Homo-oligomer: A and B are copies of this chain.
Amino acid sequence: MPNPSQRSLQAHSSPIRKLAAYADQAKKDGKTIWHLNIGQPDILSPEQALQAVKAADLKLLAYSPSGGTASYREKMPRYYHKFGITIAPEDILVTNGASEAILFALLACLDAGESVLTPEPFYANYLGFAGMAGVEVKTVPTRIETGFALPSVDDFRRAITPDVRAILLCNPNNPTGTVYPEAMLRTLAEVVMERNLFLLVDEVYREFCYGDTPFFSALNLPGLEKHVVVLDSISKRFSACGARVGAILTRNHELLTAIQKYAETRLSPPTYGQIFAEATLDTPETYFETVKAEYQRRRDLLYRRLSAMPGVSCYLPDGAFYLFARFPVDDADRFCQWLLEAFSYQNQTVMLAPGSGFYGSPGLGMQEVRLAYVLNCDDLNCAMDCLERALEQYPGRTETSTLNAEPVDHSLR
């Protein structure tokens, strides 16, 4: 029997989905599971976009152009303009979600064996895409003690080894919810230019900023027009994860021409998804205002509940819909599995994404978890009731966070 490739056997398992089998079993056993593991919003998709798909009078479900339908691409600049971003249809290529945008960007910016540098913890699937593209993910640490703030320019400089060809950021950040301030990005831009790197920025959460730090797009960094590649998706802002429509935006047309070849190889993004995506561009501002207010209420609730749990460390995240907390447990992977296998409270339990999977450096994140606040406040309260009791009952509870050398600054709670 032929064996699978070594790279596939060693491929990264998604910490977001790897406990799915335990969850399935728990559901079969009749347990209610509160899903805080996956960034699948529960907010309804914009009604007019759902209607646009129903109204589409297709007789033949044909390929679209490889880079996306002309009508969608031509309207997209209007959306970006709302964020002060001036971009042309010629700077945009439509992809199968941000997922494919990340893969294409890695393939087109890096050769096999080269490295991309990213702050950790990072969106875990970057590791999966890097594996597919045959590139390394190198990391610069960020710390819960500072709310996972962007590392200093000196930290980045030290980490840029000769094999590093690109810096990859997620802003607002998944999994930490951190929003990177304009001033920090401008300083980082100097390093990017000085070392002649690509700057890849995953901005799929740009709508979701709740604090004093306004969103600042890498596309507005002056002088970096040929360096910046923005990775985007309609999944989060329009609760449309199933559309599988994302985009790559760059003013570097030599790069975009190279990416276009990958796009042609896979023929086209999904036609229905693009009909939906085009209609999302007419979503009224009130939709976003309502959605943002709802997420902010949840964030506040989650932070308040977690902060009241003894031994839990967290901070108030400024954006996205994630919070990355430290729990008083021996091993968060074990704890998250125990939640599904062995724990229940009123026949309910919670599913979380263990933190270690969001780190590239071995041994980090062992006491950390990502919580996605994608449940309404009532359900979120039920989930927190479960979690509070689970942390009390868990056999591997530790009284303090022991695995990181430095003490947790409890003022952050």
Contact = CB atoms under 8 A, between A and B. Distances in A.
Interface in A23-39: 38
Nearest to A109: B5
Nearest to A257: B4
Contact of A63 (B38, B62, B66): B38
Interface stretch (A74-82, A241-249, A288-296, A327-335): A241-249
Contact of A271 (B165, B242, B266): B242
Nearest to A42: B60
Interface in A42-66: 42-45, 50, 53-54, 58-64, 66
Contacts of A184: none
A8 B262 contact: yes
A158 interface: no
A202 B268 CA distance: 18
A2 B265 contact: no
Contacts of A97: 266-267
A390 interface: no
Interface residues of A, number: 83
A307 interface: no
Contacts of A60: 41-45, 239
A5 B110 contact: yes
Interface string A155-174: 00000000001100000000
Kindly name the residue among A1, A227, A259 whose own CB sees the greatest number of chain B CB atoms within 10 A: A1
A259 B8 contact: yes
Contacts of A62: 40, 239, 241-242
Q: For the complex, would chain A's binding face be called helix, strand, loop or mixed by DSSP majority?
A: loop
A53 B270 CA distance: 14
A271 B129 CA distance: 22
Interface string A362-394: 000000000000000000000000000000000
A61 B271 CA distance: 15
Given A61-B50, A132-B107, A265-B14, A243 B258 contact: no
Contact of A276 (B6, B258, B272): B272
A127 B226 CA distance: 28
B45 A63 contact: no
A112 B112 contact: yes
Interface in A114-166: 114, 125, 128-129, 132-134, 165-166
A241 B270 contact: no
12 contacts: A2-B196, A8-B107, A8-B258, A42-B60, A45-B61, A61-B242, A99-B266, A112-B112, A128-B264, A242-B271, A243-B271, A272-B276
Interface of A: 1-9, 11-14, 16-18, 38, 40-45, 50, 53-54, 58-64, 66, 96-97, 99-100, 103, 107-112, 114, 125, 128-129, 132-134, 165-166, 196-198, 226-227, 239-244, 252, 254-255, 258-259, 261-262, 264-273, 276
Given A12-B261, A18-B264, 17 more contacts: A1-B196, A2-B165, A2-B198, A9-B258, A11-B261, A40-B63, A44-B60, A62-B239, A62-B241, A63-B242, A64-B242, A99-B267, A241-B267, A242-B268, A243-B272, A272-B276, A273-B273
